[in-house]
Amino acid sequence: MIAQRPPMGFNTWNCFCGDINENQIKEIADAMVSSGLLDLGYEYLVLDDHWMAPERDSEGRMYADPQKFPSGIESLIDYVHSKGLKFGLYSCAGMLTCGSRPGSFQHEFIDAQTFAKWGVDFLKYDNCQKPNGIEDHLLYRRMAMALRNCGREILFSACSWGEYGTHDWARNSGTNMWRSTGDIQDNWVSMRDIAMSQFAYSTHNAPFSYNDLDMLIVGLYGKTHIGLQGCTDEEYQTHFALWSLMTSPLMISCDIRNMNEVTKTILTNKELIDINQDIEGRQGYAWKISKDAEYYGIAKALSNGDYAFGLFNFTDNDCTITNSLNIKFWDIGLPLGCGYGFEMRDVINHKDVGLMKEFVTVNLKAHACAVFRGKLVKYE
Ligand code: GLA
């Protein structure tokens, strides 16, 4: 069974754009193992656009660009599998991909069979260059049907950008994850706006089909084609906390061969990953915790009865003592004076912070967050 939990892995697009090749992908595979990412659950290594040759072969099949992959795709897939990883490819619901390579329209079944024969485990399916006259969701239903009958378990990652009511058809059309927004850019506003745009959809996430908030931008630092601004480390930490509490797939997109220590620390936070990967797959629900400022709380119910709580300062100002952020447990279902409280653990700084009876309060810098895991206990 695939995608019981939010899928985790690495995707080439944000870091490399179309500049991919077989030695580099092998190095990425090696780094996913040696850095400990695979052990934490980052298991899919996904090639995005531009992996395929510009034309199909004489039998109408896609094949890998021989300039980039001179040994052929199957030997690369064997290598990736030999490391204990799973392998993903990209195609598109239209006639061409967004990068003008062959798309899968009218080739859905032959492509699914080809991918299965090669040993592909994951397909990202994009939304460009579609024909007129066919409703979008039908193009995704076609590929879902083809993949579900190709003889191999292939995770279906729909990249439909939230268009045409993606939230309403993606899950029941057989996708395993579905992009609910346009492309993330490597800056604070893009990341924050994607998260906030999905607060209203917290009931759509569940095992086998997850709301994909797009790839993680942690560690890009404004050096790639998706944004020259970049984020601060604090903003990248907030980003990872949001994706974890909102139960998004976690697809790394920085060059993991040269991660700095902060990037590695953020991406390998096991306590946050455990919250993201909780088997019930519930998305945290969000609410505004101050009338006067863009301060938000997110609470996620976990399968063992614990709750994860996030507090977020989305404003451009540090918060002061007088307007500190405050989650009242009343708002998540704890009656006042009931004799229960939460034994809290700070899962970003990895320390226990003790019993909180009615609320938890923090002071946060601009764009910062705090995340706790709380265990309900009776204290009187
Ligand atoms: C679209 C997708 C991106 C990426 C590119 C590739 O923009 O949303 O994630 O796959 O296409 O061309």
Q: State the DSSP H helix or E strand holding residue 119, giving kind and residue range, or none if neither.
A: none
What does the angle CA 34 – CA 87 – CA 74 come to, to the nearest 5 degrees? 110
345 Cα: distance to centroid of ligand 1 (angstroms): 38
Which residues, including other chains, have CB under 8 Å from residue 246's CB and lie 6 or more apart?
195, 198, 202, 205, 211, 213, 283, 284, 298
Residue 22 CB neighbours (<10 A): 17
Task: Dig out the tokens for 184 from the structure.
Answer: 């993330």
Q: Which amino acid is at 13?
A: W
pLDDT in tens, the chain (380 residues): 899 999 999 999 999 999 999 999 999 999 999 999 999 999 999 999 999 999 999 999 999 999 999 999 999 999 999 999 999 999 999 999 999 999 999 999 999 999 999 999 999 999 999 999 999 999 999 999 999 999 999 999 999 999 999 999 999 999 999 999 999 999 999 999 999 999 999 999 999 999 999 999 999 999 999 998 999 999 999 999 999 999 999 999 999 999 999 999 999 999 999 999 999 999 999 999 998 899 999 999 999 999 999 999 999 999 987 778 899 999 999 999 999 999 999 999 999 999 999 999 999 999 999 999 999 999 98
Task: Dig out the tokens for 280 from the structure.
Answer: 């019930």
d(CA 213, CA 205): 11
**Is 94 touching ligand 1 by the criterion CB < 6 Å?**
no
Rg, C-alpha atoms of the chain: 21
d(CA 293, CA 289): 8
Q: Best substitution site from 46, 96, 98 to test ligand 1's pocket, by max atoms within 8 Å of Cβ? A: 98
Q: For ligand 1, what atom is nearest to the CA of residue 90? A: 10
Dihedral sign for Cα atoms in the order 153, 159, 163, 167? positive
67 Cα: distance to centroid of ligand 1 (angstroms): 21
